[in-house]
Structure 1
Amino acid sequence: MNRSVFTMPRLCASLILAGMFTPMTLAQTTSSEAYVLDKVVQVSRHGVRPPTESNEKLLTAVTQRQWPTWLVPFGNLTGHGYTGAVEMGRYRGDVLRNAGLIPQGCPDAGQLLAHSSPMQRTKATAQALLDGMFPGCGFQPTYVRGSQDALFQANEMKFAALDPEKAKAGILKALGGSVEAAQARYKPYEDKLRAVACLPDADCPYGKQAWTLEENAKGRFSIKGLSAGANMGEVFRLEYSQGLPLDKVAFGHARSAAEVSSLMVLTKAKYDFVNDIPYIASRGASELMNQISLELKQGTPLASTRTESTPPDVPLMLLVAHDTNISYLRTMLGFNWKQGDYIDNNIPPVGTLQFERYKEVKTGEYFLRIGFEAQSMDQIRNLITLSETAKPYRTDFASSKDCRTTSLGLLCPLKDAISTVDKNIDPTALTPYTFQ
């Protein structure tokens, strides 16, 4: 397929209207024909999975209770998760076809880059998204051999190692000064989880352990004690999303999406205190953000003249990652969202951070739309077909004061938006990178 297919007249562009904008004074425009969508980069979380093996062991130990049995190995994408990701890919493919970015049928493989983290759940999710977006085309994602990819596992690799003192200082600031004070504030939520997960007459250790800040052999930090409650909330959400019988979800204590989210307060706390620390996020995702930035600049006056580590110039780049990666990117951008029944800044299965580049027809100027899109918990649980009347959640990000509200969503001048994308990239946390 030649490039002209991707720049054909844009049809029904209003189908990608956003859900919610960051409140601010914005210029107004209504014409969807005034802009051409010419490049998209999206970073998606994997789909529904069971607990990882280490999390299963931890939760069994702290609750002294048998947790639900899943039909796939620990941590792997489930069949339900695959189907939900296919649907998200199908919907997203329809949106991009209506916008004119991708053609009907199968595009030339050279016009697409689909790359995933090397874990089974991310590789399988990438395949599901491709199967949904390009049915029958036989596209397959690329991924590195082994267990570490500098895009997705930078926080475990030496080139992006943390300065322990800087990391601890950031964590303690987020905690409000001390681990002990934070645990005291969150005791009601620990008590709530204890009542949900522990049998009344059992000798249940959960909630009795003092939180302690710990550094592992790879230089990553965690808060022991908090981790169990954080993982518990995430597992309850996965149980609900998987479609387990309601008497099995959170041991029968979460019969709606709202009730599930009420059990995820410690899940959010874990991200607030450990992942969403600006210094830690910058070290952990500068490599990924840099590749996103390089891709978005290509074909514009902002394009780098250096060729090393520059990704292929393609209209559509699909990256499939983990919630940790997206939380780092969110923190680096300063992007916050609240969607439906989810807790603030939550990253559900197949939740996607999207970067859409538009060219204004009249002026030739480039604009960037940054947003986060995710299916609702019930859409995932019930495998709802997505449509104009059953859309996923969508939140747009105002990356500068000069963004404009359009029928396409919130469009921000590319130069200003790229400054926001680039501002927290740490050049000392980069390494030469080539896509497979």
Structure 2
Amino acid sequence: MTSLELEQVIVLSRHGIRTPLPNTLDCLTAVTPKNWPQWQFLPGYLTTRGGTLESYFGHYLVNYLANLDFTLTSNDVFIYANSLQRTVATAQYFNVGAFAGLDIPVRHRYPIERMDAVFNPIIRDSSSTFKNRVLDDLKRHTGSSQLIDKLNQNLASTYDLLSDILDYKHSALYQQYRCEFSQLPTQIDIIKDEEPILIGPLALGTAIADAFTLQYYCAFAKQDIAWGEISTSLQWQMITNVKNQYLNLLFQSQQLAAHLALPLVEFITMLFTEQKHKFNLLVGHDSNIASLLSALGFQSYQLPEQYEKAPIGGKVVFYRYYDKQDQQHYFKAEYIYQTFEQIHLAQPLTSMTPPKHFTLNFTDLNPNSQGLYLWQEVSNKLHDFLVNA
């Protein structure tokens, strides 16, 4: 019998399966002469399939926690989402799967389609000093004085693959620039009240890879998933890596990650400190997960059976334990997520067909033999981050 008692859980979830984002639709049209398959939902909205998968996830996670003797009443639960349709709807579907019949509200701060500062990864410093510090840090992060050039060189074969799938040479964008996909003009900028801005093949490739992945996740007809042009796991790995590199560049370099994650770290620290609720679900975006994990110093990782670094619907779970034997508090972090194929198949999540659990470790703290960190050390890390931010 273990002496560990699970006291508190905080879950940071990415929203579930959505449609392509509205700010990318013009780019997607311009980059190919082909007709994109149509979606039945508004741009950037959670799909019904995405909602179904979230309800599966909610049902699974609450049962998983119950097996850890972590039982919940309606007063124990706090659910909070960014004020966009896809995040609020994700929280609502999770709520149905996890707590059907209980009167648990899904909280969000603003009317739908207004970003909440807790989840909004925007620049909050207009000084040239900050901008130059970020750009210098990005050069260190990419290992290139030209920032994006090295990344684009590394992704050249993937850009060629995308170009072939899209028939890019016959697109409106090619007619405008008359250059290879990989040679499209690149620009990066850091502007107050905006997300970090990137224009060029990496940003465009990310939008394309996102659209193809969403088609696969929604089980479009084979001929409608990248027009039937993706046939191997290696191709999926290459294409999804474009998205991963975009996240890595804009949300995981040291300076940007710490800056962008600050409001979320403050909020999570408050939840841990006040301990009003045993179970806390926050629903945001891949940018939130990427910047938070980098800002808090978690080790780099590769999730088994997933190509995405921050899988759609995936959840970073923070556990706070109390050990009755040594009277110490402990901490553990996991990434719980559905595999690439589980999402594609819309597989129900049960104890027989569970999502993946992947342990997340800090770079600068040492876990004990059970893989747990002293809570005091983690608390000190949070405190130091906020003091130095």
What TM-score, normalized to structure 1?
A: 0.80
Matches within 5 A, 1:140-289: 140-146=105-111, 147-153=114-120, 155=122, 163-175=130-142, 176-178=144-146, 179-198=148-167, 205=174, 206-216=181-191, 218-225=193-200, 226-255=202-231, 259-289=235-265
Residues 89 and 162 of structure 1: is their aligned pair in 2 closer, same or farther, counting only changes over 3 Å? farther
- Taking the aligned partners of 1:88 and 1:227, their CA distance within structure 2 comes to 30
Aligned CA RMSD, in angstroms, stands at: 2.5
Residues 270 and 261 of structure 1: is their aligned pair in 2 closer, same or farther, counting only changes over 3 Å? same
- Taking the aligned partners of 1:398 and 1:151, their CA distance within structure 2 comes to 24
Residues 207 and 266 of structure 1: is their aligned pair in 2 closer, same or farther, counting only changes over 3 Å? same
Aligned to 1:304: none
Residues 101 and 177 of structure 1: is their aligned pair in 2 closer, same or farther, counting only changes over 3 Å? same
Aligned to 2:178: none
Q: Which ranges of structure 1 fall in alignment gaps of 5 or more residues?
A: 1-30, 299-311, 429-436
Contact 2:14 2:314 in 1 (8 A): yes
Aligned to 2:3: 34
Residues 411 and 217 of structure 1: is their aligned pair in 2 closer, same or farther, counting only changes over 3 Å? closer
Contact 2:121 2:288 in 1 (8 A): no
Aligned to 2:69: 100
How far the C-alpha of 1:134 sits from its partner, in A, is 0.6
How far the C-alpha of 1:185 sits from its partner, in A, is 3.2
The partner residue of 1:415 within 369, 376, 381 is 376
Q: Which has the higher helix share?
A: 2
How far the C-alpha of 1:349 sits from its partner, in A, is 1.3
Alignment of 1:386 onto 2:349: yes
Greater shift, 378-387 or 69-78, is seen at 378-387
Aligned to 1:403: 367
The amino acid that maps onto 1:174 is: H
For residues 350-381 of structure 1, what are the alpha-carbon distances to aligned partners after superposition, in whole Å with 9 as ceiling and x for unaligned? Answer: 11111111111212211011111110121112
The partner residue of 1:324 within 260, 274, 287 is 287
The amino acid that maps onto 1:320 is: V
For residues 202-230 of structure 1, what are the alpha-carbon distances to aligned partners after superposition, in whole Å with 9 as ceiling and x for unaligned? Answer: 56524441322234563433331121001
Greater shift, 40-49 or 130-139, is seen at 130-139
Contact 2:126 2:192 in 1 (8 A): no
Greater shift, 235-244 or 148-157, is seen at 148-157
The partner residue of 1:337 within 301, 314, 317 is 301
Residues 257 and 144 of structure 1: is their aligned pair in 2 closer, same or farther, counting only changes over 3 Å? farther
The amino acid that maps onto 2:373 is: C
Contact 2:335 2:359 in 1 (8 A): yes
Residues 189 and 199 of structure 1: is their aligned pair in 2 closer, same or farther, counting only changes over 3 Å? closer
How far the C-alpha of 1:154 sits from its partner, in A, is 5.0
- Taking the aligned partners of 1:197 and 1:371, their CA distance within structure 2 comes to 37
Residues 257 and 79 of structure 1: is their aligned pair in 2 closer, same or farther, counting only changes over 3 Å? farther
How far the C-alpha of 1:46 sits from its partner, in A, is 0.2
Contact 1:154 1:160 in 2 (8 A): no
- Taking the aligned partners of 1:373 and 1:210, their CA distance within structure 2 comes to 38
Identity %: 20
Length, aligned pairs only = 376
The partner residue of 2:81 within 85, 92, 116 is 116
The amino acid that maps onto 2:60 is: Y
SS of 1:404's equivalent?
Answer: coil
For residues 290-311 of structure 1, what are the alpha-carbon distances to aligned partners after superposition, in whole Å with 9 as ceiling and x for unaligned? Answer: 221232244xxxxxxxxxxxxx
Aligned to 1:7: none
Contact 1:160 1:283 in 2 (8 A): no
What TM-score, normalized to structure 2?
A: 0.89
Contact 1:34 1:361 in 2 (8 A): yes
SS of 1:334's equivalent?
Answer: coil
- Taking the aligned partners of 1:152 and 1:161, their CA distance within structure 2 comes to 24
- Taking the aligned partners of 2:159 and 2:170, their CA distance within structure 1 comes to 18
SS of 2:11's equivalent?
Answer: strand
- Taking the aligned partners of 1:118 and 1:191, their CA distance within structure 2 comes to 38
Matches within 5 A, 1:68-83: 68-83=37-52
Residues 47 and 313 of structure 1: is their aligned pair in 2 closer, same or farther, counting only changes over 3 Å? same
SS of 1:90's equivalent?
Answer: helix
Residues 102 and 327 of structure 1: is their aligned pair in 2 closer, same or farther, counting only changes over 3 Å? same
How far the C-alpha of 1:182 sits from its partner, in A, is 3.3
Aligned to 1:55: 24
Q: Which ranges of structure 2 fall in alignment gaps of 5 or more residues?
A: 175-180
How far the C-alpha of 1:426 sits from its partner, in A, is 5.9
Greater shift, 366-375 or 190-199, is seen at 190-199
- Taking the aligned partners of 2:171 and 2:255, their CA distance within structure 1 comes to 42
